[in-house]
């Protein structure tokens, strides 16, 4: 079976990571009729579909910046009628989305971070270093600068910073220098050209281990183009603020930079903010979250055999136990331009 435009249906194209574990963590908070889960990274709707099937009391609001993903997920979830609401937005806008829907708070939030299977598998999107395609990498193709724009306009120092911070690339200065030198001849346009340059810029000895040498550069560009870490820094506190008491948040990360942000936000909520040595802990300094996982959970062998893309997943979950104290609310909004 295929969709009208010839593409395979979403359900045939994507196997969600730790699907049942996510549903099991969220389900207790969604038991009351009318409970709402916000799937902040809807993708092709795999996690949303499982919740809607297994938790008949739940509604799902699905947020995604990728219009193609919203269309495919909408087709997949149409059978659930008004129990599913798609929203075209970036997920750090969760507070605005919840308010516009007239909700005081939601009972569940799910984030499945990183690049989606749809984006990786569609060669023309430019996310995959193994296939030649235009250097795009935008999750929302309706706006914003492309990877080609970054490569053709950032100076050498800015490029090196992006590769070092977001790709943890130890040869960042060498690659950045080669990128700038190459664009003096002709502008950057194709992923294949970039993959070849990265390979040539890294010493032969370093290319023998660690997989494809382009992986870190492509990751860094994707994160920069989509402002992923800045969005996540805003999104996790905003998601926690959107939770009603007893609501639950579940986050799946796939690289250390993402997991560090999630870990920090959850630790802030599960730790007393009272100064050490006080005889009585003030109510306004008590933790407002309870951790539901011991640290971060990895995929087990059965999951890895079923879904190799689960190899790097780190899952964290927490439950809201009281409102966030006013002095701990996160209000700062830092843009990508501020960090360049």
DSSP string, 26-88: HGGGG-STTEEEEETT-TTSHHHHHHHHH-TTEEEEEEES-HHHHHHHHHHHGGGGGGEEEEE
154 is in an annotated binding site: no
Q: Which residues, including other chains, have CB under 8 Å from residue 173's CB and lie 6 or more apart? A: 156, 160
CA geometry: angle 169, 16, 248, nearest 5 deg: 95
91 is in an annotated binding site: yes
46 is in an annotated binding site: yes
Q: Which of 28, 19, 42 is nearest to 97 (CA)?
A: 42
The residue to which tokens 């939770």 are assigned: 243
64 is in an annotated binding site: yes
155 is in an annotated binding site: no
**The two structure tokens encoding residue 39:** 């799937």
**The two structure tokens encoding residue 10:** 């979403």
Query: From CA 291, how far away is CA 298, in angstroms rounded?
Result: 16
Binding-site residues for S-adenosyl-L-methionine, in ranges, read 45-47, 64, 91, 112, 119
Binding-site residues, in ranges, read 45-47, 64, 91, 112, 119
């Amino acid at each position: 079976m295929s969709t009208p435009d010839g593409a395979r249906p979403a359900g045939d194209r994507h196997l969600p990571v730790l699907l049942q574990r996510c549903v099991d963590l969220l389900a207790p908070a969604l038991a009351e009729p009318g409970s709402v889960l916000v799937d902040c990274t809807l993708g092709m709707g795999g996690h949303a579909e499982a919740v809607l099937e297994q938790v008949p009391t739940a509604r799902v609001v699905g947020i995604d910046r990728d219009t193609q993903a919203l269309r495919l997920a909408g087709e997949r979830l149409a059978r659930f009628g008004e129990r599913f609401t798609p929203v075209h937005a970036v997920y750090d806008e969760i507070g605005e989305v919840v308010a516009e829907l007239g909700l005081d708070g939601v009972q569940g939030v799910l984030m499945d971070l990183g690049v989606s299977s749809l984006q990786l598998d569609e060669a023309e999107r430019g996310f995959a270093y193994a296939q030649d395609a235009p250097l795009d990498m935008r999750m929302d193709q309706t706006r914003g600068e492309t990877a080609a724009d970054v490569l053709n306009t950032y100076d050498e120092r800015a490029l090196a910073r992006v590769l070092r911070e977001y790709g943890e690339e130890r040869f960042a200065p060498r690659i950045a220098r080669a990128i700038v030198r190459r664009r003096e001849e002709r502008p950057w346009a194709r992923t294949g050209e970039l993959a070849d340059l990265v390979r040539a810029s890294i010493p032969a000895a370093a290319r023998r281990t660690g997989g494809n040498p382009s992986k870190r550069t492509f990751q860094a560009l994707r994160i920069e183009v989509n402002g992923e870490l800045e969005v996540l820094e805003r999104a996790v506190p905003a998601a926690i603020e959107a939770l009603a008491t007893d609501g639950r948040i579940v986050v799946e990360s796939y690289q250390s930079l993402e997991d560090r942000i999630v870990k920090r936000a959850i630790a802030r909520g599960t730790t007393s903010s009272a100064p050490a040595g006080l005889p009585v802990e003030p109510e306004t300094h008590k933790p407002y979250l309870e951790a539901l996982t011991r640290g971060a959970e990895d995929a087990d062998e059965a999951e890895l055999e079923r879904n190799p893309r689960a190899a790097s997943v780190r899952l964290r979950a927490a439950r809201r136990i009281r409102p966030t104290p006013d002095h701990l609310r996160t209000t700062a909004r830092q843009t990508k331009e501020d960090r360049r």
